[in-house]
Amino acid sequence: MTTSNTSPHWFSNVEQALVVNSKTDITWHHETDLVIVGYGAAGASAALEGRESGLDVIVLDRFAGGGASVKSGGVVYAGGGTKVQESLGEQDSPQAMFDYLNLETQGVVKDETLMRFCEQSAQNLDWLMSHGVKFSGPVYKKKTSYPNVKYFLYHSDNSLLPSYRGEHPPAARGHRGVIKNGNSAVNLGGALFWPMRESAKNLGVQVDTQTEARQLIVDKHGRVLGLKALQLIAGSDAEKRHKRNSALATGVATYFPNMLPGGKSMRKLAQYFRNKVKRIEENEREVVFYRARSGVVLSAGGFIFNRKMVKHYCPKYLHGLPLGTHADDGSGIRLGESAGGATKLMENATAWRFINPPLAWSKGIIVNQQGARFVNESSYGATIGEAMVERNNGKAWLILDSALVKQAWREISPGKVLPFQQLLAALNHIFVKKKFKTTQAMCDHYNFDLATIEAEIANYARVANGEVSDAFHKTKDDAVSLQGPFHVIDISLAQHLLPCTVLTMGGLDVDERSGEVVDANKNPIPGLYAAGRTAVGIPSNLYMSGLSLADCVFSGRRAAKHAAEQHTQQQ
């Protein structure tokens, strides 16, 4: 799929590529080997690999760098026998990792690409550590969406569910970057990005922040020569005001989430600062041309904050909580398309409907509008979210009984979970949860089908008693016999007191050996690469925690390695 900026669905300021006869047709302000657009985990990985391979590198970022990578939980999905796994007695192998991920990715990349990802996984973790990123234990062995801050290795997937185990024992593969952040869950991705940024600085990577790529420069043979950017002059008053206001907009959105009292006012305040940023960009930037002798790497994230693109490509996910920053506007994808790049899976997004902790919630049942169960409640949050959004119109309700409610309160007591997990569970118990003495009263309120609800509750009790196997492969130890009165929590996509985080997964189609962007006929576009969420990659079918950051490292390094190989051949 390709489009252009003449399309009514372009929704971007990115311009169509400028075709020139020769590189001498442009007066270049900067010349280098590799230009990288977007400075998150993928961009940093490409920059570090590029420098280690002997390339001169310039990185551009519209804001200060870090992007969605810093906003993430700082988890890298790694296995195959990492040093951290081995030190903690976790048995794993590349084949075991491949067999598990093959169930989740379902052919989104070729088997040989997935195997290469698994075979390189432990080495990529070592490589990150060589650049100052810290990983360690202890390991958390139970099911959870995100462990207490004292644990740094956990099962960030469905591997603990019997139906996913296969012939290999489940291995913990969620490697959290070690960071001194107290009990805060804010900016944990800095554990990964900040050491990489420091290492890149030490290696001589040039980073031009407050610089937005707007147009690719292509020769008449279709090779990408460089790009045009709009830039605020370094050290200028305009640059300082841009940094200050963009930081304030991000800070307000980060530290004053929507579900807290005053959330609407905080959103308005964040928008006020973003509007100031926009005015500075519209009036005070200069045009700068960058020559890229070995290629341009597009690593500018996805498009979750471009609400028009989300509405057009994946409207089912529009009412989830966007994860990332306002730089995740699809500009990297549009730049690739402007030079003839094809896109894939633009309709794919991931919605993280986490219900554990508290563990008690996962022992209840999740039903749809008819009152029917549709998923194993012990599943990883993205698995629940996919089933909820794709097959049930984003609607779901969690049904508990009084014993589970009491258990949940105990499980979210201070010190047992992260503060934000405690807050969300408590808010939903107090303000969202509704109590019903009978199934009839529950059905009258939610318009569930009475016969369906009663059949589900009765069958669930038989699962808990070991009398029957569960249709969704839930074990009897994870189920209970629900007894009235019943407690119901709306966990639908748009439920603002239980935010469901959403991230786009589609992007530019790439050659899986090189990372080069390809056109509609699968022909590589010379001099153009894509990495991270700007491209289709390992997590583009179904997301597991840490899989995106791991793919950023894998794909960023892949692109830079190929660019370096091409550079050597041309000399």
Name the DSSP letter for residue 232.
P
Residues spanned by the domain of 38? 18-70+187-234+285-348+505-566
In a domain, 447, yes or no: yes
Kindly report the length of the chain: 571
**Does one domain contain both 153 and 202?**
no
Query: How many independent structural domains does the chain possess?
Result: 4
Residue whose structure tokens are 């292509």: 218
Is residue 10 one of the residues assigned to a domain? no
Q: Identify the CATH number of the domain in which residue 423 sits.
A: 3.90.700.10
Same domain, 93 and 62: no
From 140, 156, 176, the end of a domain falls on: 176
Same domain, 36 and 159: no
Q: How far apart are CA 289 and CA 535, in angstroms?
A: 24
- Predicted confidence at residue 97, as pLDDT, reads 98
For residue 331, tell me if it sits in a domain.
yes
Q: Would you say residue 429 lies in a domain?
A: yes
327 and 213 both lie in a single domain: yes
> Quick one: which H or E segment has residue 227?
strand 224-231
Q: What's the distance, Cα to Cα, between the start and end of the chain in Å?
A: 35
Give the residue from 442, 457, 490 where a domain finishes: 490
365 and 251 within one domain: no
Residues 418 and 342 in one domain: no
> 445 φ, ψ to 5°?
-75, -45
For residue 4, the model assigns a pLDDT of 78
Sheet holding 75-77, edge to edge: 75-77, 174-176, 153-154, 139-140
Pairing of strands 153-154, 174-176: antiparallel
Compute the distance between CA of residue 54 and CA of residue 555 in angstroms, rounded to an integer: 18
* Dihedral over alpha carbons 415, 416, 421, 424 (to 10 degrees): -90
Other C-beta atoms within 10 Å of 135: how many? 22
Which of 465, 490, 515 terminates a domain? The answer is 490
Cα–Cα dist 419/256, whole Å: 14
With b meaning 16 or more CB within 10 Å and e meaning fewer, what string describes 306-334? beebbebbbebbbbbbbbbbbbbbbbbbb
Q: 363 and 466: one domain?
A: yes
Tokens of 80: 């195959």
**pLDDT string in tens for the chain (571-residue length):** 567 788 888 999 999 999 999 999 999 999 999 999 999 999 999 999 999 999 999 999 999 999 999 999 999 999 999 999 999 999 999 999 999 999 999 999 999 999 999 999 999 999 999 999 999 999 999 999 999 888 999 999 999 999 998 889 999 999 999 987 666 666 789 999 999 999 999 999 999 999 999 999 999 999 999 999 999 999 999 999 999 999 998 888 776 666 666 677 888 898 999 999 999 999 999 999 999 999 999 999 999 999 999 999 999 999 999 998 889 999 999 999 999 999 999 999 999 999 999 999 999 999 999 999 999 999 999 999 999 999 999 999 999 999 999 999 999 999 899 888 999 999 999 999 999 999 999 999 999 999 999 999 999 999 999 999 999 999 999 999 999 999 999 999 999 899 999 999 999 999 999 999 999 999 999 999 999 999 999 999 999 999 999 999 999 999 999 999 998 887 6
- Kindly report the CATH number assigned to the domain that includes residue 33: 3.50.50.60
Confidence at residue 415, expressed as pLDDT on a 0 to 100 scale:
86
Query: Is residue 214 located within the same domain as residue 241?
Result: no
pLDDT at 176: 96
215 shares its domain with 335: yes
For residues 222 and 318, membership in a common domain is answered with: yes
Q: How many CB atoms lie within 10 A of CB 52?
A: 16
